[in-house]
Amino acid sequence: MRRFGRPDQGAYPYLHNAAGNPPSPCPIALVHRGFAPDGGENTMAAFERAVELGFRYLEIDVRASSDGVVMVFHDEDLDRVTDAHGRMAARTARELGGLSVGGDGGIPTLEAVLLRWPDLRLNIDVKSGACVRPFADLINRLRAHDRVLVASFSDRRRRKVLRLLKGPTASSAGMAVTTLLKLLAPLGLAGAISRASAVQALQVPETYRGMRVVTGRFVDACHAAGLQVHVWTINDRADMDRLLDLGVDGLVSDAADVLADCMAARSAWPQGDVRA
């Protein structure tokens, strides 16, 4: 079994997997958009179910409403998961909060999630440029820097957020930086790239367009550079065990119950208290 990576977690408490403890060899378990096996992703009810299972980390998505409020929602349009149609960004926060998302209530604000569970840690994919400043303003106002990891497929958007934040905040690479790291990490260049790009983690699929991303060599190279490797979206127990044995530092899953059982079998569960 491989050892897990240990970036400078003193500077980024988000990457600790137990409250107040020093870096631990246990991997991080992240539930994808809350636990919503019957629908209702990214809702307060889905998050509550995940917390009840013992999760301390959520992977969520944010966009801005028409009145500049940071909302927890994945899609650009409302059609797939709500009882409404059209662009999400065309509606106010109040209107979005009144929609039905899989029967599990309306679209929540990020502020409501942060205040509801003060010790919950959020892996946040910033989905739109309009969300950059209101997101940074909210994190600064609530002083939630230690509780969030900033993610985005766009490295440019991610860096804009980091420049606006007033405290050290963990971040994972976007597509461009991830591609560079995949190509150049085996050459020993991962450390220089990660420092220049202000990232502490890579969050990647196991394979992408037929190319295997997560290999033992890649994980070792990232660890040597002080980078954690988190893999998404892993729903099968055998895949979870195989990747954890390979040494990855975190798994993102829709199958929260399966992932919780996997972590419990490895004596890595629960991963700290989440107070209501």
Catalytic residues: 32, 74
Core vs surface per residue 160-199: b (16+ CB within 10 A) or e: bbbeebeebbbbbbbeebbebbbeebeeeebeebbeebbb
Q: Are 15 and 271 in contact (CB under 8 A)?
A: no
Question: How would you classify residue 66: left for phi > 0, otherwise alpha for psi between -120 and 50, otherwise beta?
Answer: alpha
Q: Are 150 and 158 in contact (CB under 8 A)?
A: yes
Provide the residue type at 130 as one letter: A
Question: Cβ atoms within 10 A of the Cβ of 130, count?
Answer: 15
Give CA 66 to chain center in angstroms.
24
Lookup: tokens for 204: 């990647």
| Residue in 53, 61, 145 with CA at minimum distance from that of residue 110 | 61
